A and B are shown apart, each in its own frame.
Chain A
């Protein structure tokens, strides 16, 4: 069964600290993996997109990694800011039977001053 699991479920960090969010997936065959940021009550905003051949992708203070062999991805946030408080969602697209998109449940990040 195609699944995307994220950990931790929630995380509290102090402003200025770094953090890493994890995503494990069982989706096959794999097309691409995306990380989104979703503020409460808003639509998700794309942070990174990675295909099978990409190991790392950066977008400002956000760096995503992908290990297609172990089917794991991480999102590293550097020097966190209060505005980073949001849900971070891992999304995997599979090629199987057409393109299907599977969302993780997200990690809720709280950045405190």
Chain B
């Protein structure tokens, strides 16, 4: 069964550094999402992406965050200047087309900001 993949599985960075988290969506899926989950807390929506542009974003997704699909396959989340509170698990998810289609989540990238 096709899977969403994410790299790296774990990223450790210094506060103030830029990080790029990568996701490879399922090949024919059209909608892409980033979520984060701080340890012990609920999953939080960050952003959705369709047709090469952001369709929705949450209050968390401020100017420090950006997303792009640079080569038509990878879907990336960039955090420009990481803060301690950015430490979390970041999940990419994709779905085919319809709003009730299943969202498939990747295994996540654990980001640790020191």
Residues of A within 8 A of B (CB): 31-32, 34, 38, 41-46, 49, 51, 89, 91, 93, 98-106
A98→B99 contact, CB < 8 A: no
Which chain B residues numbered 53 to 98 have a C-beta less than 8 Å away from chain A?
A: 55-56, 58, 89, 91, 93
Contacts of B107 in A (CB 8 A): 42-43
Whole-angstrom distance from the CB of A42 to the nearest CB of chain B? 6
Please, how many residues of chain B have a CB less than 8 angstroms from a CB on the other chain? 22
In the complex, which of the residues B43, B55, B99, B104 contacts A89, with contact meaning CB atoms closer than 8 Å?
B43
Whole-angstrom distance from the CB of A90 to the nearest CB of chain B? 10
Between A and B, 17 residue pairs with Cβ closer than 8 Å are A32-B99, A34-B103, A42-B108, A43-B4, A43-B93, A44-B105, A49-B100, A51-B100, A89-B43, A99-B48, A99-B55, A99-B99, A102-B45, A103-B44, A103-B45, A105-B41, A106-B42
